[in-house]
Copies of this chain bind each other. A is one copy, B any other.
């Protein structure tokens, strides 16, 4: 998760909501991503999607059944759907997202009746993951 936090800092510097994600296979990072929504003016450029695409490219397959993801903020519906499509084994989450989180907070798509289910574990470096987000939103308010 500390690697995902480093990626979130890249988003922060780009004036994007600081969210980072890594995909891991056998204790090795095979895909990295950070939120680039504002940078690329594209609402699909979330950290999780970038990390999944990079992992699929690196491993030359979209079957990521043996891979796990570490992500600093609970994935939204789009990203939870992508996690199912790539058939991830497990997702470790830093901060919860009560409004948009689809891994247990607002909805749980990961355990829903689709063709694949993904395990989930919360509270991984939760404090650090929440802190970078609140710091970002405070700085936005100050600028205004």
Instruction: List chain A positions with a Cβ less than 8 A from chain B.
Output: 37, 41-44, 49, 52-53, 56-57, 60-62, 76-82, 84-87, 99-100, 102, 106-107, 109, 112-115
> Are B41's CB and A86's CB within 8 A?
no
Least CB distance, A74 to chain B, in whole angstroms: 13
> Are A82's CB and B115's CB within 8 A?
no
- In the bound complex, residues from chain B placing their C-beta under 8 Å from that of A114 are 77, 99-100, 106
Interface SS of chain A: helix, strand, loop or mixed?
loop
Alpha-carbon distance A60/B107, docked complex (angstroms): 31
Cβ-closest chain B residue relative to A102: B81
Contact among B42, B49, B57, B61 for A57, CB-based, below 8 A? B42
> Are B86's CB and A77's CB within 8 A?
no
If A79-B81, A80-B77, A114-B106 touch, whether A53 touches B42 (CB-CB below 8 Å) is yes
- In the bound complex, residues from chain B placing their C-beta under 8 Å from that of A61 are 41
- In the bound complex, residues from chain B placing their C-beta under 8 Å from that of A100 are 114-115
> Are A43's CB and B86's CB within 8 A?
yes
Least CB distance, A106 to chain B, in whole angstroms: 7
- In the bound complex, residues from chain B placing their C-beta under 8 Å from that of A112 are 77, 106-107
